[in-house]
Chains A and B, each alone.
Chain A
Amino acid sequence: MSAMTTSTKIIAGAPIQAGGRRFLPSVMVTTLENNAAGGIFHVKRMRPISVVEEGTAGNRWHNIPDVTQNMLSQMAVAALVVAGVASLLLLLNHLIRR
């Protein structure tokens, strides 16, 4: 009865005109849907990926970074490393004292 579907696509947005140039955006769209007999839910996330600048001198590609998410991920990795090293030290200390 329940049909949960997920999909991820990269979609080109409508071109943007600014400063006499044209920008072609691309967006990653992640969708999670569930259509069950008695209820439904639908979640969609649209994350900008890049923008291509079309000018007279040629095309330039600009990445759009998620600085906050990158920094949080690095901190999470640091937390795991600290926990790993500390556990190793505790284990070594335990083995030496035995």
Chain B
Amino acid sequence: MDKFTSILDQIAATVDKADVNVVFGEPKEVQGRTLIPVAEVAYGFGMGLGAASVECGDAACVDHDDDACCSDEEECAGADDEGEFGGGAAGARVRPLAYIEVGADSARVIPIQDEQKIALMGIALGMWCVAWLGLVLKSLFKK
């Protein structure tokens, strides 16, 4: 259980570092212009821990019909056992949204489009429209 607590403490420390200031990047000088990158940041983690124990009198005697099987110390020897198990996962995502171009007299926000996502959605939308159109035409020209 101490290990589990230690892992949790480490994760909590990492999460504290990932505060809101990671959303706006450091200003960069690019070809005479100052750019501030802006991104959406998301992260998550989860973990679980369990403990199991095999005690004389229950699991150790499951295969024995004899109620007194564990009354014998020899049969109980080595039957007491316990263990801990756990698992976890974590993930993070950073999606660029825009950059701020800082000019000599004013700044402007330039959005960034995810062309691939939009193209895929466009193709899906096209197929969706064609399918509905096909259904309507089939219904209209049905004899």
A residues sitting closer than 8 Å to B (CB atoms) are: 11, 13-14, 16-19, 21, 23, 25, 27, 29, 32, 38-48, 51, 53, 55, 60, 62-68, 71-72, 75, 78-79, 82-83, 86, 89-90, 93-94
Assuming the A-B contacts A13-B24, A16-B27, A48-B24, are A39 and B111 also in contact, with contact meaning beta carbons closer than 8 angstroms in the complex?
no
B27 partner residues in chain A, CB cutoff 8 A: 16-19
B42 partner residues in chain A, CB cutoff 8 A: 43-46
Chain A residue nearest to B128 in the complex (CB): A79
Interface contact A44-B15, CB-CB below 8 Å = yes
B54 within 8 A of A: no
Interface contact A67-B23, CB-CB below 8 Å = no
Q: Which of B26-69 contact A (CB under 8 A)?
A: 27, 34, 36, 38-50
- Tally of contact residues, B, Cβ under 8 A: 51
A42 partner residues in chain B, CB cutoff 8 A: 15, 44-46
Interface contact B22-A46, CB-CB below 8 Å = yes
CA distance A28 to B39 in the complex (A): 12
A29 partner residues in chain B, CB cutoff 8 A: 20
